[in-house]
Structure 1
């Protein structure tokens, strides 16, 4: 049902109207991401509770594992929000397919991160604020735009501009904002790969790095096709 909503207006969501390679591979990746999400969540659940009496230690509330889960859930939510905005601002099928992939993948991953916090019995909001978990640096030590919560996140002004844009102007702004958003997400995911201790969470973070770097390259090509470039 979600797929139909995100690709409304397309004759066939798996075929590009300009003759370029079909997007079937991306749909398969999205499905695989959902399956991996289920497997990883089950793995953490098994690791957290081994039988009725034996409970394995879970990350501390101020650990990198908990901090990454909390912050990346917020980071992902904004990407999903922007993906749904662009759906209604353009009829370009390539951009709409990319938005669909981002919305589905990051919504699934966000659910995993919040689910793990529930399994660990940890709060979803940190009293220390965002990014305190990143070793050796506080929030002020990371590259963030004025008014942005975390690395790569769009500001409220950015979101307002995206809401007002239409057609190719909206496409360009979306691709620029998501390029910045992905770059910030990669920085955070790499930190988790280095600092997190839960194997399943580190595996998820590594997958985020690989996938988002690939999409950054794709978005650079899409911007070039529109006579634009990353900001």
Structure 2
């Protein structure tokens, strides 16, 4: 009997501790949602999250295109890594916009205004630094083999350079620490990949 009572008391204590912990998490979450420091729609934090999500989406698209246009394991491995990493980062940034209760698309606001930069769109789809035009994407879809590899590496190098520029802008302007940390991680990773792609281009007798 005493053994059963002891086990019951232990189970009850655990259950109560879980309930108290859940309550604490709920209160903490409510405090975060109502925190006065939540970014506003015109902030660098929101602008970066929106614009880099679009920028990342094109990198994912180009990586899937080249995956189907070459059998080269080195290029396909790089494309997989870029697509996987940037898709995950894009999900994080869109999640933050949801958390902040901000729109994922800001109508009437041109891209890059959070960096005080004019949009670079020319009617061919290149809206932000480094982004490929529709014509360049079409060329990648039509290429194959070594031609597709070189075109992808060149386009992605330019894409990364633009991405690094944007991410550095967030490091300097964003107020949310976790977002600044993500942006710095983008700078470090993409600068490293730029060097890798330069080496891959040299192996194929090409340059960026």
TM-score range, shorter chain: 0.7 to 0.9
Structure 1: segments with no counterpart, 5+ residues = 1-45
CA deviation vs aligned residue, 1:93-130 (integer Å, no higher than 9, x gap): 00000000000000000000000000000001122121
CA RMSD in angstroms, aligned pairs only: 1.7
Match for residue 173 of structure 2?
A: 195
TM-score by length of 1: 0.74
CA deviation vs aligned residue, 1:7-50 (integer Å, no higher than 9, x gap): xxxxxxxxxxxxxxxxxxxxxxxxxxxxxxxxxxxxxxx8xx83
TM-score by length of 2: 0.82
Q: Secondary structure at the match of 1:60?
A: coil
Greater gyration radius: 2
1:180 maps onto 2:158 in alignment: yes
Distance 2:82 2:198 in 1: 16
Distance 1:172 1:53 in 2: 50
Structure 2: segments with no counterpart, 5+ residues = 1-24
Count how many residue pairs are aligned between Structure 1 and Structure 2.
Answer: 179
Distance 1:50 1:174 in 2: 45
- Aligned 8 A contact 1:50 1:56 in 2: no
Distance 2:72 2:144 in 1: 11
Change (3 A) 1:67 1:165: same
Query: When you count helix as a share of all residues, which structure comes out higher?
Result: 2
1:211 maps onto 2:189 in alignment: yes
The Cα shift of 1:170 comes to: 0.2
Spell out structure 1 runs of 4+ moving beyond 2 A.
49-54, 136-140, 144-147
